[in-house]
Structure 1
Amino acid sequence: MDNYLVSLDKLKKKCDCEVFESKTTEDLSTSRELIGQDRAMEALKYGLSISRKGYNIYVSGFTGTGRNSYSHLVTKKFADKKDAPKDWCYVYNFKKPSSPKAISLKTGQGKLFKKDVDTVIKKLVLEIPKALDSKEYENSRNLTYTVYQKKAKNILAELNDLANEYNFVFRQTENGILSIPLKDGKPITDEELNNMSKEEIEALTNTSNELNHKAYDYVRRIKKVENDFNTEMKKLKESKVIEVLDQYVTPLIEKYDENQKIREYLNDMKDDIVKNYEGFLGKDNERQVQGFPFMINSEEDTMKRYEINLFMDNSYKKKAPVVKEMNPTYYNLFGKIDYINQFGGYKTDHTQIKPGSLHEANGGYIILQVKDILQSGKTWESLKRALITEQLKVENITGLNIISETLSPEPIPLDIKVILIGDFKIYQLLYNYDDDFKKLFKIRTDFDIEMDRNLENIRKIGSFVAYQCKEQNLKPFDNTGLATIIEYSSRLAAHQDKLTARFNDLVEIIYEADQWANIRDKSIVTKDEVNIAIEKRDFRNNIHEEKMTEAIESGIIIIDTKGEKIGEINGLSVVNIGQYMFGRPNKITVNTFAGKEGIINIEREVKQSGSIHDKGVLILGGYLGEKYAKDFPLTLTASITFEQSYGGIDGDSASSTELYALLSSLSGKPIKQSIAVTGSVNQKGFIQPIGGVNEKIEGYYKICKLKGLTGEKGIIIPHQNIQNLMLKDEVIEAVRNNKFRIYAVRTIDEGIEILTRIKAGKLNNNNQYEKGTINYLVQEKLRNYAELSKSYK
């Protein structure tokens, strides 16, 4: 049996302290370089280098592999090679006020343009009233007034000549031209009018009607003169306003002549000011709403439309932006239109258009967490639409639009590279069920969870630790501490020739080891502090394991570690509680008897078994039939169960264990209870590797230690799992002192010999198994069951 023992040198791959080029990290070169992710880095850099539509990037991998920090770091390097993006402004649309215009400017010009326009408007507020109050304007106004007044008086004189024939006179009042009857050459008084008889009043009315009829043409001529005067006065005012605009706005148009949209906007603004110059005169208009008087400043309303909304000011950016949006809600990404509550109603304007992080990143890169963005279907769909159309449109999708005015701003061209961070499962779901995703995210970069344990990577981890010590002001690590970290890294990777790429786990141990050095008042972190940090980390999280151990010690959970029993065996499973994994022994029992039910998986019958475990049990029937029942029908009933198991069971790592117990029950030979087993099996009887081998071994070792290490206790593992062994020193020391044994097997035959101390047996020339062997006894029992089944038909 000793041939199957795993040698001491294979229980853990030590790290030689001398591989590091210095005694402590103080003398090591520091590096933040991503280690062991060459494939991921190549894919990421390739995706970032392609400036084509649809070549956005999906970064997959587990948390802690550096996918977030290094995606940002590499993206930043690419961004530093690109120029800063343009500035963007939203301005009032004089032709369609509900659709503000978007204007792009060279980087840094946005705030200059806004300042220029603000300065001009402030000057116009002062200069337009001055121009309309100047002596020159007054002279022109008086001259025009005199000319048209003279025209009106001449027509009125002609009208009064006609009125004299009817003993009337026409006077011009605030209410227009009125006809007044005369008496003795003077306008009749109210008293005289009241003293008239009915007949006199009737006669006077008829005369007035006749006169008014004849006077209509004269009155029309006077009104035309008035209208001509008003028109001429308006032209005079507008000409004065234009003179002011030519002085202040025209130079601004010339300054931004190269920008067509600015030129168009300033010309439209100029025309609008000419039409609405009254707003620059500073007069307040009183209006009535729901019976309550209030004042609205017409100047403020007018001035608002000339205000520039500096939507994106990139003057502070030297290179292309890289934005990490940690809360990618719709409005955080796409911006929004704010509203102002005014007298119970909501109003808005172009100055209330606010940018989102996509606008901040436009011209550069944005990094998003896929889980966060998928929580809102509207956000995900809107992001895809923006990438497809290559346009960014600000619009509110919920809220105030129903009860208030709304805007439809002009979209902004979108030039951006999106980097989504997520896991592989979400990638597969999106790739299989979202056609747009395939077209938009053509590059996938996958961060691995492990890397090769070679000299280069070992030294790089040393430089990584040195970088952490420098950046985080930690105590230096000596080479024994670094070697222990390398061994712990292989332990996390569960492979002697691999190192973990989940650097978050390493960083936590580095920080905690530094703290233990502080507690122990040491100036350098050694392997002792690293080991304490690992042990204390386990201790903080192993309460569930301790409770289970207590239950085994008290006999509540029945686990036998001595003696021999037929159809009973100790299997091993792994319990994962997040930051901590531990191995748990399970007693597996098998009963066999005559019948035709086959192998009954009790866990499956009570729906506590997963599909993978069910598959493992079904494989046992294939193994029995192929190995023992080629010349007779396989007829038996066997019940298999995990004793004292009250939760779900899945996985096939106990399939070989179940098969050993089944063979014991059929052969009638007992199994040594001191040896636990893990490993899956195929239908041909070959043992297959499993996960969590270190935790399983150490979990069973703790139980054996609790019940007394006699030298007979041990565990059987698949031969392939030797390369995964990174056991704790305590277990290795027990093996060294012959107090604990670890066997590695390739086949069921090898394992059953260890468990029963009886030969498995091989087929002889007569195609029969050797008498007295396990296989012979099993075959004979199955043959007996087959004969029994015939007799009971």
Structure 2
Amino acid sequence: MEKYIVPLEKLNKKCDPELFEHSTTEDLPASRELIGQDRAMEALKYGLSIRRKGYNIYVSGLTGTGRNSYSYLVAKEFADKRKAPKDWCYVFNFKRPKFPKAIGMDGGQGKIFKKDVEKVIKDIGIEIPKTLTSKEYENNKNLIYTTHQNKAQKILNELNDLAKQYNFVFRQTERGILSIPLKESKPMTDEELDNLSQEEIEELMKTSNELNQKAFDYVKRVKDVEKDLIKEIKNLKEENVLQVLNNYIDTLIERYEDNDRICEYLNDMKADIVKNYDMFMKEDEKNYLEGILLPRDRKEDFMKRYQVNLFMDNNGKSNAPVIREMNPTYYNLFGKIEYVNEFGALKTDHMKIRPGSLHEANGGYIILQARDILQSSHAWEGLKRAITTEEIRIENITGLNVISETLRPEPIPLDIKVIIIGDYFLYQLLYNYDDDFRKLFKIRADFDIEMDKTEDNIRKIGSFVAYQCKEEGLKPFDKGALAAIIEHSSRIAENQNKLTAKFNELVEIIYEADLWADMENRQVVTREDIDMAIYKKNYRNNTYEEKLAELIEKDVIMIETEGEKIGEINGLSVIDLGQYIFGRPSKITVNTFVGKEGIINIEREVEQSGSIYDKGVLILGGYLGEKFAKDFPLSLTASITFEQSYSGIDGDSASSTELYALLSSLAGKPIKQSIAVTGSVNQKGMIQPIGGVNEKIEGFYKICKLKGLTGNEGVIIPYQNIENLMLEDEVIEAVKSGKFKIYRVKTIDEGIEILTGIKAGKLDEKGQYEKGAINYLVQKKLKYYSDISKEYE
């Protein structure tokens, strides 16, 4: 059996501390460079370099590989080369009040523009009342009044000349021009009118009607004069107001003449103020009642139209933004329109339009988590629409518009690069089921979980540790500690020739090792501190493993490590608790007898197995048929189960183990209980590699240690898993001292020889297996079952 034993030097691959140029990280160059992700970094930079529609980026990979932090760093690097984005303001639309206008301008100019408009409105509010109460204005107004009064009096004189013929006179009153009857060339008094007889009254009314018919044109001319008076007074006011506006607003227009949108807005504002100049006049204070919406409130409400909503202020920014939106809800991304409750009614205006993170990132980059944005369907659909149309539209989606007045702000042009970070599974779902995703996210940057264990990468990890020490104020790490970190990195990667790219797991050990060094009053972190940090981390999480070991030690869970048994074998599985993974031995038993059912998987029958496990069991039937039953029908019933297993089972790493037990049962030869087995098998009997090999070996070793090591204990692993071995020092010492063995096999035949101590047997020239071999005995039993089956049929 010696030829199957894994050499001692293959059980672990130590790191040479001398690879590091200096004795501690204090003298090593500190670097935050992303290590071992050349492919992902090239894709990320390529995607950020393309300024074309649809070339947004999906960053895939597992948590802890640096996909978040380095996506931000690379985006920041690109952002630093681009100029700061525009400022954006929302202003009142004087032509379409429900559609506020968006005005863009150079970064930092928005704040100035807002102040300029505020100052102009304030100045205008002072100057308009002054102008309309000035002596010059009053003189002009009086001149107009006098002129029109003379015109009206002249017409009235003509009318009175006519009225004298009817013994009447016309007088201008508050109720207009009225005709009054005369008596002795004097207007009749009310007493005289009351003393008139009925006949006199009727005669007077008849005369009055005739006169009024003839006076109609004169009265109309007087009213026209009054209308002209009102119009000319209004024109005089507007001319005076316009003169004020020209002095202030035209100066502003000249200042912003390079921005057509601002000039258009200011001209519209000027025209609106001319129409509503009266809103700038002071109200009579006595008209206000506290707590009631009266003229002052209406005026303040009205005056909001002249305010500027500085929507996006990029003042002081020298380069493009990089925004990480951690809660990408619809409103957080696209902004919203806020409302206020006034006497039970919800009201809003252009000053209550609020930006979202897309506005903040406009002109730069935004980083989103795939899982977060997909949880909000409105946000995901809105993002795709914004990228497609290249504009950001603000609209409320809560149904609030039904019970309140609403606005439709003008959309803002969108110039942005979107980086979505997620896992491979979500990428495949989106790519296969969302056609828009394919068009809009054409670049994928995939962060690997491991890298090659080259000297260059080893030194880079040393620089990474040096960076952490410098940034976090940690103690320096010596060469031995760095070597231990490299070995632990290979252990996480489960490969002697690889290093993990899950730097968050390394950082945890770095921080904890610094603490242990501090507790031991050491000024430099050593290998002992690294080992202690790893041990204590495991100790904090291995309660379940210890409980299982205790049950096995007390034979509550029956695992035997001595003797030999037919159809019984120790299999190995792993239990993943998140922060801790450990190997658990499980007893697998097989019973065989005549029948037609084939191989019965008890776990499958009770629905406790996964599809991969079921596939592994079904492969066993293919192996038996191909190897032993080519000349006769396979008449067999075999019952296979994991004993004392009360939860789900999946994976095919126990398929070879089950096959060994099946062959043992058929051959009637016992299996050594001191040897546990892991590895999957194909239909041709070739052993295939599995995962978690270190944990499986160490898990069985711990149980053997509990029950007492005799030197016969060991584990059979697939030949291909040798490069995955990064075993703990205790296990290596046990192997070195001959107390524990690790075998590697390529085929089922090799494994069955180790487990039974009997040759597997090969086919001779006649197509028969040599007598006494395991394969001979299996074939003989299967032929026997077939013959019995024929007799019964």
Alpha-carbon distance, 1:106 to partner: 1.4
Please name the residue that 2:308 is paired with: 308
- Does 1:592 pair with 2:592? yes
Alpha-carbon distance, 1:101 to partner: 1.1
User: What is the DSSP-based 3-state SS (H/G/I as helix, E as strand, rest coil) of the residue aligned with 1:575?
Assistant: strand
- Does 1:786 pair with 2:758? no
Q: Which amino acid aligns with 1:588?
A: I
User: What is the DSSP-based 3-state SS (H/G/I as helix, E as strand, rest coil) of the residue aligned with 1:25?
Assistant: coil
Please name the residue that 1:750 is paired with: 750
Contact 1:284 / 1:295 at 8 angstroms: preserved in 2?
no
User: What is the DSSP-based 3-state SS (H/G/I as helix, E as strand, rest coil) of the residue aligned with 1:178?
Assistant: strand
User: What is the DSSP-based 3-state SS (H/G/I as helix, E as strand, rest coil) of the residue aligned with 2:444?
Assistant: strand
Q: Separation in 1 of the partners of 2:752 and 2:287?
A: 100
Q: Separation in 2 of the partners of 1:94 and 1:620?
A: 81
Unaligned runs of 5+ in 2: none
User: What is the DSSP-based 3-state SS (H/G/I as helix, E as strand, rest coil) of the residue aligned with 1:21?
Assistant: coil
Contact 2:574 / 2:692 at 8 angstroms: preserved in 1?
yes
Q: What does 1:642-653 correspond to in 2, within 5 Å?
A: 642-653=642-653
Please name the residue that 2:477 is paired with: 477
Deviations 1:720-750 (A, max 9, x none): 0010011111111111111111111111011
Q: Separation in 2 of the partners of 1:654 and 1:286?
A: 94
Q: Separation in 2 of the partners of 1:293 and 1:337?
A: 24
Deviations 1:319-356 (A, max 9, x none): 01111111111111111111122222121111111111
Q: What does 1:594-633 correspond to in 2, within 5 Å?
A: 594-633=594-633
Q: What does 1:10-159 correspond to in 2, within 5 Å?
A: 10-159=10-159
Please name the residue that 2:659 is paired with: 659
Alpha-carbon distance, 1:208 to partner: 2.7
Alpha-carbon distance, 1:175 to partner: 2.1
Alpha-carbon distance, 1:293 to partner: 6.5
Please name the residue that 1:714 is paired with: 714
Contact 1:285 / 1:298 at 8 angstroms: preserved in 2?
no
Q: What does 1:240-639 correspond to in 2, within 5 Å?
A: 240-283=240-283, 294-639=294-639
Contact 2:490 / 2:500 at 8 angstroms: preserved in 1?
yes
Q: Which amino acid aligns with 1:331?
A: Y
User: What is the DSSP-based 3-state SS (H/G/I as helix, E as strand, rest coil) of the residue aligned with 2:310?
Assistant: strand
Deviations 1:539-560 (A, max 9, x none): 1111111111111122211111
Q: Which amino acid aligns with 2:166?
A: Y
- Does 1:232 pair with 2:232? yes
Range with bigger deviation, 676-685 or 95-104: 95-104
Alpha-carbon distance, 1:212 to partner: 2.1
> Residues 172 and 635 (structure 1 numbering): CA distance in 2 closer, same or farther, change over 3 Å?
same
Range with bigger deviation, 52-61 or 85-94: 85-94
Contact 2:311 / 2:354 at 8 angstroms: preserved in 1?
yes
Q: Which amino acid aligns with 2:326?
A: M
Alpha-carbon distance, 1:298 to partner: 4.5
Contact 1:570 / 1:675 at 8 angstroms: preserved in 2?
yes
User: What is the DSSP-based 3-state SS (H/G/I as helix, E as strand, rest coil) of the residue aligned with 1:27?
Assistant: coil
User: What is the DSSP-based 3-state SS (H/G/I as helix, E as strand, rest coil) of the residue aligned with 2:193?
Assistant: helix
Deviations 1:442-468 (A, max 9, x none): 000000000001100101000000000
Deviations 1:555-599 (A, max 9, x none): 211111111110000101111111111111111000000111111
Q: Separation in 2 of the partners of 1:568 and 1:129?
A: 105
Deviations 1:181-240 (A, max 9, x none): 334444333344344443333333333333222221111111100000111111111111
Q: Separation in 2 of the partners of 1:293 and 1:756?
A: 99
Q: Separation in 2 of the partners of 1:362 and 1:703?
A: 60
Q: Which amino acid aligns with 1:463?
A: S
- Does 1:671 pair with 2:671? yes
Identity %: 72
Q: Separation in 1 of the partners of 2:318 and 2:108?
A: 10
Q: Separation in 2 of the partners of 1:698 and 1:183?
A: 134
Contact 1:283 / 1:298 at 8 angstroms: preserved in 2?
no
User: What is the DSSP-based 3-state SS (H/G/I as helix, E as strand, rest coil) of the residue aligned with 2:63?
Assistant: coil
Range with bigger deviation, 85-94 or 445-454: 85-94
Alpha-carbon distance, 1:159 to partner: 1.8
User: What is the DSSP-based 3-state SS (H/G/I as helix, E as strand, rest coil) of the residue aligned with 1:26?
Assistant: coil
Unaligned runs of 5+ in 1: none
Alpha-carbon distance, 1:648 to partner: 0.9
Alpha-carbon distance, 1:646 to partner: 0.9
Q: Which amino acid aligns with 1:43?
A: A
Contact 2:87 / 2:110 at 8 angstroms: preserved in 1?
yes
Q: Separation in 2 of the partners of 1:288 and 1:404?
A: 27
User: What is the DSSP-based 3-state SS (H/G/I as helix, E as strand, rest coil) of the residue aligned with 2:418?
Assistant: strand
> Residues 298 and 593 (structure 1 numbering): CA distance in 2 closer, same or farther, change over 3 Å?
closer
Q: Separation in 2 of the partners of 1:549 and 1:392?
A: 60
User: What is the DSSP-based 3-state SS (H/G/I as helix, E as strand, rest coil) of the residue aligned with 2:26?
Assistant: helix
Q: Separation in 2 of the partners of 1:153 and 1:654?
A: 119
Contact 1:282 / 1:298 at 8 angstroms: preserved in 2?
no
Q: Which amino acid aligns with 1:234?
A: K
User: What is the DSSP-based 3-state SS (H/G/I as helix, E as strand, rest coil) of the residue aligned with 1:81?
Assistant: coil
Q: Separation in 2 of the partners of 1:356 and 1:78?
A: 22
Range with bigger deviation, 162-171 or 431-440: 162-171
> Residues 234 and 542 (structure 1 numbering): CA distance in 2 closer, same or farther, change over 3 Å?
same
Q: Separation in 2 of the partners of 1:301 and 1:218?
A: 45
Deviations 1:384-413 (A, max 9, x none): 011111111111111421111111111111
With the length of structure 1 as denominator, give the TM-score of the two structures: 0.98
Q: Which amino acid aligns with 2:743?
A: Y
Q: Which amino acid aligns with 1:277?
A: Y
Please name the residue that 1:734 is paired with: 734
**What is the root-mean-square deviation in Å for CA atoms of aligned residues?**
1.6
Alpha-carbon distance, 1:613 to partner: 0.7
- Does 1:170 pair with 2:170? yes
Alpha-carbon distance, 1:161 to partner: 2.3
Contact 2:283 / 2:296 at 8 angstroms: preserved in 1?
no
Q: Which amino acid aligns with 1:139?
A: N
User: What is the DSSP-based 3-state SS (H/G/I as helix, E as strand, rest coil) of the residue aligned with 1:305?
Assistant: helix
Q: Separation in 1 of the partners of 2:287 and 2:129?
A: 23
Contact 2:288 / 2:296 at 8 angstroms: preserved in 1?
no
User: What is the DSSP-based 3-state SS (H/G/I as helix, E as strand, rest coil) of the residue aligned with 2:436?
Assistant: helix
Q: Separation in 1 of the partners of 2:270 and 2:284?
A: 23
Q: Which amino acid aligns with 1:671?
A: I
> Residues 121 and 293 (structure 1 numbering): CA distance in 2 closer, same or farther, change over 3 Å?
closer
Q: Separation in 2 of the partners of 1:282 and 1:336?
A: 35
Q: Which amino acid aligns with 2:751?
A: G
Alpha-carbon distance, 1:284 to partner: 6.5
Please name the residue that 1:3 is paired with: 3
Alpha-carbon distance, 1:303 to partner: 2.3
Q: Separation in 2 of the partners of 1:285 and 1:551?
A: 90
> Residues 100 and 749 (structure 1 numbering): CA distance in 2 closer, same or farther, change over 3 Å?
same
Q: Separation in 1 of the partners of 2:780 and 2:174?
A: 131
Alpha-carbon distance, 1:166 to partner: 3.0
> Residues 530 and 292 (structure 1 numbering): CA distance in 2 closer, same or farther, change over 3 Å?
closer
> Residues 286 and 629 (structure 1 numbering): CA distance in 2 closer, same or farther, change over 3 Å?
farther
Q: Separation in 2 of the partners of 1:193 and 1:731?
A: 133
Q: Separation in 2 of the partners of 1:59 and 1:91?
A: 39
With the length of structure 2 as denominator, give the TM-score of the two structures: 0.98
- Does 1:214 pair with 2:214? yes
